[in-house]
Amino acid sequence: MVFFLQTVGAATIIALLIYAARVLDKKWRLRYPEEKPFAWGYFQALFFFPAGLLWFLMPFIHDPGSWQLWLMVVLHGVVGSYAGYALIKEKKKWAWVFVVIAQMNFVTLLIDIHYGGNRWKEFR
């Protein structure tokens, strides 16, 4: 039963993030009709922004064992959350690279290499 609830919760969160990314993309296309859609970038940023906040809170919830690990987790959370924000608001190149690398997911890495390669000129 717990596995089912976790699966439904994860699917619901992903569905909400997809919906939010599409809404942000629609606003982007209304404001800049000559530009390409940015739904995948918004999804990546929205997915990573709360993840960065959770990384930031992790040492306060669980004891990481050492102050070096605690510092790394907090820094990863702070930089990750800011990178997600910067990717959404300003489309910064460094934010895209950080979000792609920090996710440590091979499938999204492949998608991002293709997607980012096609869109690199649009990033600032």
- Work out the pLDDT band at 64, boundaries 50, 70, 90: low
DSSP-based three-state secondary structure for 34 = coil
What's the predicted TM-score (pTM) here? 0.61
Is 70 exceeded by the pLDDT of residue 63? no
**Where do the H-state alpha helices sit in the chain?**
2-31, 39-61, 67-89, 93-103, 106-119
Structure tokens at 105: 């997911």
Q: How many domains does the chain contain in total? A: 1
**pLDDT digit string, tens, across residues 23-40:** 988 998 898 888 778 787
**Residue-range definition of the domain harbouring residue 50:** 2-122
**pLDDT digit string, tens, across residues 36-56:** 787 877 887 777 766 666 666
